[in-house]
Structure formats: structure tokens, C-alpha cells
């Protein structure tokens, strides 16, 4: 895996965005974002299992498709733009269009390639991991290009929706601590986080607003009212009543802007032991 900051061989306006829904420009993780093992080589865009993924341009050649243990269902498309070759990679697809076969050509970018999912990424919520590549021979041998070389319309590749910056559980005190805030034009904005929890043996979820520890550092806490049991936990936060909730650990569990932060999908969660 290699990163390429500048790429001028293809016009900035050559491509269209790979998604087409009302929140397609919300970004979970940005290109070259620092990670524990290696920087993030693509963009994680919001989506759920009702959202289709499309080629970046017409006449896309299906270079590769299949399964990866870390990328799940994936597709690689190749484009010839003004005699320059460039690729797009889509990962974690819930499913791939069965009409898409390796070596075929997708003549129209209105033909869907796959559906947003979370295959190959464990407890992560559904999202589209996508990359623009200047070179591809395999998933382990590719060069990822900064998406900022291209014009994506209203897309802003920032980490604006991943509001939970730190999550620490202190088992001795049965207390969960979080640091949570949104970002608006470089300023940190409170998100008033909620904790969604239940004993693992129960089917009834509880919702509670977390207690402020420090408003200046955006730190909050919640002490569990149980002992001697395991607890399933999710976190939800938003900065105002008109926005959609952002979740942890499934940062994008579903589209939800109701007053109740409990998501309709609860398959991604933390499991903690309360002594």
C-alpha cells in the first residue's frame, strides 16, 4: 500500500460521486487519516444497506472483484480518462451486482456496482470505503491517490460525523467515560451524548443522557446501575435536534433524526462486564 498526494494526469471534473443519497457527503474516516497500523487509504462515506454504489465514470472496466478478509466484498473498476489509467476501489459491500463480472465493461455510471454494507470489518457500521488509485495489481499492491485531486461537488472530506473521540471504561467504578464533540468550521461543538444500554440477557434497551465531567474538554460519564453482569452498550450524539444521530461503535447504524436516539439496528455494540 502506497499513498500519492498529487495526481494531475486526470482532469479534476472527470468523476462523479460513487453514492447518490441525501447524506452521501457525510464522512466517517478521511483519506490518509492516522491509524494504529497504517494510515487510512481511502474515504469512509455514510450509507446503509439500502444505498447503491456506482462507477465514477462511464465505460468502467471491471478489473477485479471478490472477497477480502479485511475488505469484505470488494470491486475494482478501471477507467481510461484521456489515455490515463485510474482505478476506483469499493470495499465492505453488502452484495455485488450479480451482472458485474470480472473483465466486463459497465457502459453507464448509472448502473449500480454494489450495495453499501459492513462485510469484512467486524463491528463497524454499514458504510462505503472507497479509494481512487493510480496503480493496482492486487489489494496488497496498490497506490491510493488523494481524493482532493478531484472535484466531487459538495463533498467535504473531513471527520465531522465521528463525534466520539475517546471511550474509556473504568470497571472498578462501573463508569464509562467519553469525550465527544462535533466540529464546525474548526470549532468544537457539544453533542450532548446519550448512552444506550441493557443487560446482555435482556431485550429491553435503556436510554440515558450522560453526565458532564468537563464542558471545556467535552468529557462525560455514566455509572451503570448494575453489578455482576455483562452490559451491551451503544453511544449516540448530535449537536442539535435537526441532525441525524452519530453512533459508537457503529458510527452509522442507520438514518435517525427522531427525538429518541435508539437506532433501529442494534447489531454493533460494546459488551462490558460490570463487577
pLDDT in tens, the chain (275 residues): 788 877 778 888 899 999 987 667 666 677 776 666 788 888 888 788 889 999 999 999 999 999 999 999 999 999 999 899 999 999 999 999 999 999 999 999 999 999 999 999 876 778 899 999 999 999 999 999 988 788 887 665 544 445 777 788 999 999 999 988 876 555 778 888 999 999 999 999 999 999 999 999 999 999 999 999 999 998 888 877 767 777 877 544 445 677 888 877 666 678 999 99
Within a domain: residue 106?
Answer: yes
Q: Please state the pTM of the whole predicted model.
A: 0.61
Asked if 132 and 141 count as a contact pair (C-beta separation under 8 A), the reply is no
- Same-domain pairing of 70 and 168: no
Give the C-alpha separation, 80 to 77, whole Å.
10
The CATH number assigned to the domain holding 32 equals: 2.70.70.10
The CATH number assigned to the domain holding 228 equals: 2.60.40
- Same-domain pairing of 180 and 103: no
∠ CA 160-164-167, rounded to 5°: 160
Verify cis geometry, omega within 30 degrees of 0, for the bond prior to 132. Answer: no
**Residue whose grid cell is 470495499:** 91
Domain stop point among 149, 172, 195: 149
Within a domain: residue 156?
Answer: no
Residue 184 structural domain: 164-274
What pLDDT does 159 receive? 43
Count of domains for the chain: 2
What pLDDT does 154 receive? 61
The cell numbers describing 160, all together, are 465531522
- Same-domain pairing of 86 and 203: no
What pLDDT does 132 receive? 95
What pLDDT does 69 receive? 93
- CA nearest 87: which of 110, 109, 56? 56
What pLDDT does 184 receive? 59
- Same-domain pairing of 119 and 168: no
Within a domain: residue 154?
Answer: no
* Beta-carbon contacts of residue 145 (< 8 Å; ≥ 6 apart): 4, 7, 86, 131, 132, 133, 134
Amino acid at each position: 500500500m502506497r499513498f500519492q498526494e498529487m495526481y494531475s494526469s486526470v482532469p479534476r471534473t472527470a468523476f462523479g460521486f460513487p453514492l447518490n443519497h441525501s447524506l452521501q457527503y457525510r464522512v466517517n474516516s478521511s483519506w490518509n487519516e492516522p491509524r494504529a497500523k497504517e494510515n487510512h487509504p481511502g474515504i469512509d462515506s455514510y450509507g446503509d444497506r439500502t444505498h447503491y454504489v456506482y462507477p465514477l465514470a462511464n465505460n468502467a472496466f471491471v478489473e477485479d472483484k471478490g472477497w477480502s478478509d479485511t475488505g469484505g466484498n470488494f470491486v475494482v473498476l478501471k477507467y481510461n480518462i484521456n489515455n490515463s489509467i485510474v482505478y476506483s476501489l469499493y470495499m465492505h459491500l453488502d452484495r455485488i451486482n450479480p451482472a458485474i463480472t470480472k473483465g466486463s465493461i459497465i457502459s453507464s455510471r448509472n448502473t449500480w456496482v454494489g450495495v453499501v454494507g459492513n462485510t469484512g470489518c467486524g463491528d463497524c457500521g454499514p458504510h462505503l470505503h472507497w479509494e481512487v488509485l493510480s496503480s493496482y495489481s492486487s489489494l496488497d499492491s496498490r497506490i491510493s491517490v488523494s481524493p482532493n485531486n478531484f472535484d466531487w461537488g459538495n463533498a467535504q472530506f473531513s471527520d465531522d460525523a465521528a463525534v466520539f473521540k475517546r471511550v474509556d471504561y473504568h470497571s472498578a467504578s462501573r463508569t464509562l467515560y467519553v469525550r465527544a464533540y462535533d466540529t464546525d468550521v474548526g470549532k468544537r461543538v457539544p453533542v450532548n451524548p446519550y448512552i444506550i444500554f441493557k443487560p446482555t440477557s435482556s431485550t429491553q434497551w435503556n436510554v440515558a443522557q450522560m453526565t458532564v465531567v468537563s464542558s471545556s474538554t467535552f468529557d462525560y460519564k455514566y455509572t451503570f446501575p448494575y453489578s455482576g453482569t455483562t452490559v451491551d452498550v451503544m453511544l449516540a450524539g448530535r449537536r442539535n435536534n435537526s441532525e441525524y444521530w452519530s453512533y459508537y461503535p457503529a458510527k452509522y447504524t442507520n438514518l435517525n433524526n427522531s427525538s429518541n436516539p435508539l437506532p433501529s439496528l442494534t447489531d454493533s455494540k460494546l459488551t462490558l462486564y460490570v463487577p
